């Protein structure tokens, strides 16, 4: 099969829906063998069938299970050239309202799960002498938002882990991250389904709209591709420019304008 990822073997965690599913589809279209890893076996199987890949049921919180799943996928595909650590969960509530259990869950899935993927795939890639890992972080890992304290902390950890892995696995393995803003996916379904909330989100985005999973998948694919062969330890923000406005400057300029100055 032809394509920029022909001959490559790719594993995507959280590949059963949203950005993960879009990423699986893109890699498959571009010639890669794809393994869809997800804790939901039904969704993993559906995406695998759609992309002509294979499905693996696994909870990324379980380090031993992730190691087993990654090694089995590599054996089945004839190698492992690319890993996309995409699995993640989120919620929103005031910081002081989070229980220990809720905090631990968000860290375990979003941060520890990413570490489990890197630890499992790293030795395989190093032995082969090449590889690319792309971690799905979040804009809130760079600029935290109210209500997402534990999630933001986990994603900030993913950014630091990305840089550490890039240093330690170089030069054979490149490790990068994407930091999506508001993207239409299962994680944002509640916002997207509410017309007033969606309108508010779009109004605060210079691009004037919410992004798509396909758009994030394209950036992930770029980072994994040979076009990014000299890029490692980096994070690309995919947010339609939403992080650009300054609340302080906007409030000041509004006050100045209203004063008639």
C-beta atoms surrounding 62 within 10 Å: 16
Known active-site residue 151: yes
- Cα dist from 241 to 77, 154, 205, 212, whole Å: 38, 22, 6, 14
Q: Which of 5, 27, 98, 151 is catalytic?
A: 151
**String of b and e for 142-167 (b: at least 16 CB within 10 Å)?**
bebeebbbbbbbbbbbbbebbbebbe
* Helix, coil or strand: residue 69: helix
What is the rounded distance in angstroms from the CA atom of residue 205 to the CA atom of residue 199? 10
Task: Note whether 223 and 132 are within 8 A (CB).
Answer: yes
Which positions are annotated as active-site residues? Answer: 151
């Amino acid at each position: 099969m032809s394509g920029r990822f022909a001959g490559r073997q790719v594993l995507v965690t959280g590949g059963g829906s949203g950005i993960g599913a879009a990423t699986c589809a893109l890699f498959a279209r571009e010639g890669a063998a794809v393994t869809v890893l997800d804790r939901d076996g039904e969704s993993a199987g559906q995406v695998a069938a759609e992309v002509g890949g294979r499905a693996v049921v696994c909870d990324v919180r379980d380090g031993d299970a992730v190691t087993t799943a990654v090694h089995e996928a590599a054996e089945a595909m004839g190698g492992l050239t690319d890993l996309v650590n995409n699995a993640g969960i989120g919620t929103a509530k005031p910081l002081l309202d989070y229980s220990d259990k809720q905090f631990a869950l968000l860290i375990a899935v979003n941060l520890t799960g990413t570490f489990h993927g890197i630890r499992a795939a790293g030795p395989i890639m190093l032995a082969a002498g090449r590889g690319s890992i792309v971690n799905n972080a979040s804009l809130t890992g760079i600029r935290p938002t109210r209500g997402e304290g534990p999630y933001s902390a986990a994603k900030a950890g993913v950014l630091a882990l990305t840089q550490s892995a890039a240093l330690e696995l170089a030069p054979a393995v490149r490790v990068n991250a994407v930091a999506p803003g508001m993207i239409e996916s299962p994680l944002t379904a509640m916002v997207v389904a509410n017309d007033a909330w969606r309108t508010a989100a779009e109004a605060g985005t210079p691009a004037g709209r919410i992004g798509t999973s396909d758009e994030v998948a394209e950036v992930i694919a770029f980072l994994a591709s040979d076009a990014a062969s000299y890029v490692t330890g980096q994070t690309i923000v995919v947010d339609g420019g939403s992080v650009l406005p300054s609340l302080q400057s906007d409030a000041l300029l509004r006050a100045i304008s209203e004063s008639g100055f």
